[in-house]
Amino acid sequence: MAKTKQARMFDIAVVGGGPSGRIAALRFAKSGFSTALVATNGGMPDGRTTALWQKSISLLEEIGVWPQIRENAAQLRKMRMIDDTGRLIRAPEVIFDSAELELEEFGFNMLNSNLNAVLEEHCATAKNITLVDSTVTKVDFLPQSAVLHAETGEVIEARLVVAADGRNSLVRKAADIDVRHWSYPQAALVLNLEHSLPHHGISTEFHTPTGPFTLVPLPGRQSSLVCVESVDGAERLLEMKDALIEMELERRAHSILGSFKLVSQVQSFPLSGLSATRLVGDRVALIGESAHVFPPIGAQGLNLSLRDIADLDKVLSRAAARQQDVGGQDVLKSYEANRKSDVRTRTQAVDLLNRSLLTGLLPVQLARGAGMYLAGKVGPFRRLLMREGMAPGSGFTLSR
């Protein structure tokens, strides 16, 4: 064990080296807060991808990282939903087109490895950020500050700790914030594919009896795939040789992108959810997966996390302008009040969509089919759904 060093004082200490933690550190530093980022560099290789909507991209533009990320990202111009359940009541196909909102695209899809590399580079050179290449082993919450003890022996003191250290957050546990867990009888297979036909910037989601089967564009003739299966079904796919799984996935995609070739390893994750009972505690605020986790459906995960960051930064900047304590309970309660509705509605929406595909109950099938029909036929309703999908509350500002 390294020898304990003298504590260094900061306005904010961010714990966690994933995209949420690094973007949060860059945002706070940009707002003028002295920021410590406690995170290890060069984590495990990540072959997954992330789709970011326009509001998230605006945040990345504000902190100066978007131009580099954009170089290796693919536009998402249309979103196509197809009922492939084979059940008695089937919903009609629906296409959501960004042009209908007078947008060039809904957002962009990118490899997590490219996103992480750009964020690491900017964090290493940003003003107001002090990097602590370590993990946190202990947190002491004091009346006027929080003290973080790093594995390397570093001691970081801050007026506010921002927990971005994932679903098994040590900071959240230290703050004695409870969570609610739930699980699904499913697993998500995640991989990247090369295909013989162009995707034209169209993301296609097949609704199947075991969950969504979603192809999302990547640069060139490549797409990422999230295939939600039963646990047994996922195991069967994992056991297949590359040539067989390529043919099976092409069959499930009805060859809309031609033949498939794997360009990444196939990863499998059990589907589960998590929701923190509180978003704040004494001298601590939760963001990202330390606060909320749900299945990779609808590209909501990181987009929701970035809205956490934007709202927290807004609250803290307002408090600093008023010379308030940024780690004080009045300030943190304001952040929690702002975020609760968004987190709750997104979690419930993803849960409802997933469970609606698993049930064979006719009333549920009717409701889902009616919703898809209205989305396809009623322009104002479709535009409302598109806006709400990208940013909560914006769907009610209807145009045309």
Number of domains in the chain: 1
Say whether pLDDT at 397 is over 60. Answer: no
Domain CATH number, residue 34? 3.50.50.60
Flag whether the pTM goes above 0.85: yes
105 part of a folded domain: no
Say whether pLDDT at 396 is over 60. Answer: no
25 part of a folded domain: yes
Residue 217, strand partner residues? 223
252 part of a folded domain: no
60 part of a folded domain: yes
pLDDT, tens digit (0-9, with 9 covering 90-100), for 345-375:
888 877 777 776 665 555 556 666 666 656 6
144 part of a folded domain: yes
16 part of a folded domain: yes
pLDDT, tens digit (0-9, with 9 covering 90-100), for 210-253:
989 999 999 999 999 999 999 999 999 999 999 999 999 999 99
161 part of a folded domain: yes
Domain membership of residue 16 as a residue range: 8-65+112-180+273-358
244 part of a folded domain: no
Burial letters 274-292, b for 16+ CB under 10 A, else e: bbbebbbbebbbbbbbbbb
